[in-house]
Amino acid sequence: MQQEITFFQRDVLKEKPDTASLGFGKYYSDYMFVMDYHVENGWHDPRIIPYAPLTLDPAAMVFHYGQAIFEGLKAYKSADGTIQLFRPEKNMKRLNDSCDRLCIPQIDESFLLSAIKQLIFTEKDWIPDGEGTSLYIRPFIFSTEPYLGVRPANQYKLLVILSPSGAYYGDQLSPVKIYVEEQYVRAVIGGVGHVKTSGNYAASMKAQEKAEANGFAQILWLDAKENKYVEEVGSMNIFFKINGEVVTPKLNGSILPGVTRDSVIELLKYWNIPVHEAKISIEEIFAAHERGELEVFGAGTAAVISPVGELNWNERSITINDNKIGQLSQRIYEEITGIQIGKKADPFNWTVKV
Ligand code: COI
């Protein structure tokens, strides 16, 4: 499916935002990548066109039955101007895993990656180079066929948009307050929690709203069956350092297999720090805190490494590491971001040049 990508020039370029005021996901670059699927001719018509609103039929199946999936990755500019991506092949693979789960036709992973590189190259001036900034890349696919019967659609659109971004949470290394949710659940085994469907995020909003109203940045989800075992946080995976060893919930079919999660595990192994993927209960976490042994951080593409300063569960609240970033979280943050922006050696060959 190696097709030629058509380029449509825009007349006037947008003004770029000030790096200091970026925040996350508020600004979009000049161009986007688009490709269509029809059951009769497969994925076709790849093009880079001016970023603009779309026109869709009100009966487009995505509005009714929610076949929509997405990915998130970032492009970084290193000090010498090299542009690099971080393990993008993992995002391409996960996009296809999400497609598979929602009966969306598979994409050609290497073609999409080359299209993303072409888009990034076109938009290289949109990659911010301030500390902690990057160009967030959002590929997504949704069903467009106008039809109201329930079945997988015969038509889809794949888009990639770009958003120059800074920290996901206000201040990257300031610890966040997290609420352990017991009333609502995120995902069940056999459901869609292990893939990146838009519906997972829609289902999380009620609890997120409740948490925010009570002063918390995010939700920590427990397993849907026993309401006992830790799963993940709203926008990231979670890690606990307990008495010198690191533990993160084992992928069980309802947890998202994060690229940053995998990178943290690989890094810890490389440093000979014991790391386990295990079933871990919220009770054990609170007990570890009582023994004075706990450090907690989240890991995600948007969130990077985000220290957790407070956990609130069942009306009990614990302050972790004096509400300061822990030593290990800081070390991992520096190593991963150092590799991403080309400041540190990349012994794992994680970075891919554009
Ligand atoms: C990412 O980290 O890229 C995500 O997709 C999380 C998000 C929903 C902001």
Which CA distances in Å does 346 have to 58, 208, 248, 263, 352?
A: 48, 36, 24, 12, 10
Q: pLDDT (tens digit, 9 = 90+) per residue, 91-145? A: 999 999 999 999 999 999 999 999 999 999 999 999 998 888 999 999 999 999 9
Q: pLDDT (tens digit, 9 = 90+) per residue, 7-43? A: 999 999 999 999 988 999 999 999 999 999 999 999 9
ipTM of the prediction:
0.94
Q: pLDDT (tens digit, 9 = 90+) per residue, 53-80? A: 999 999 999 999 999 999 999 999 999 9
**How much distance in Å is there from the Cα of 40 to the middle of ligand 1?**
33
Per the structure block, which two tokens stand in for 341?
């922006």
Q: What is the pLDDT, as a whole number, of residue 220?
A: 97
E strands, 20-82, in order:
31-38, 42-50, 68-70, 73-77
Q: pLDDT (tens digit, 9 = 90+) per residue, 291-343? A: 988 999 999 998 899 999 999 999 999 999 999 999 999 999 999 999 999 99
Q: To test ligand 1's pocket by mutation, which of 204, 235, 304 has the most ligand atoms within 8 angstroms of CB?
A: 235
pLDDT for residue 168 is more than 90:
no
CB 310 within 8 A of CB 177: yes
Residues with CB under 6 A from ligand 1: 72, 201, 235, 300-302
More confident residue, 1 or 253: 253
**How much distance in Å is there from the Cα of 228 to the middle of ligand 1?**
25
Bridge-based pairing of strands 68-70 and 42-50 is unpaired
- Give the closest residue to 191 by CA, choosing from 183, 181, 199: 199
E strands, 166-303, in order:
176-180, 218-222, 230-233, 237-242, 245-249, 275-278, 294-300
User: What distance in Å separates the CA atoms of residue 331 and residue 124, rounded to the nearest whole number?
Assistant: 29
Q: What is the pLDDT, as a whole number, of residue 117?
A: 98
**How much distance in Å is there from the Cα of 203 to the middle of ligand 1?**
15
**How much distance in Å is there from the Cα of 128 to the middle of ligand 1?**
19
Residue 281, burial from CB neighbour count under 10 angstroms (0-12, 13-18, 19+): middle
User: What distance in Å separates the CA atoms of residue 209 and residue 220, rounded to the nearest whole number?
Assistant: 13
Q: CA angle 136-307-250, nearest 5°?
A: 85
Q: To test ligand 1's pocket by mutation, which of 186, 195, 301, 305 has the most ligand atoms within 8 angstroms of CB?
A: 301
- Give the closest residue to 221 by CA, choosing from 187, 264, 256: 187
CB 336 within 8 A of CB 304: yes
User: What distance in Å separates the CA atoms of residue 162 and residue 50, rounded to the nearest whole number?
Assistant: 12
Query: Can you spell out the DSSP letters for 99-158?
Result: HHHTTPPP--HHHHHHHHHHHHHHTGGG---STT-EEEEEEEEEE--B--SSS--SEEEE
Phi, psi of 75 (to 5 degrees): -110, 140
What is the atom index within ligand 1 of the atom nearest the CA of 196? 5
Q: pLDDT (tens digit, 9 = 90+) per residue, 209-231? A: 999 999 999 999 999 999 999 99
What is the atom index within ligand 1 of the atom nearest the CA of 301? 2
Mean pLDDT score, 264-282: 97
**How much distance in Å is there from the Cα of 26 to the middle of ligand 1?**
14
CB 246 within 8 A of CB 268: yes
CB 68 within 8 A of CB 143: yes
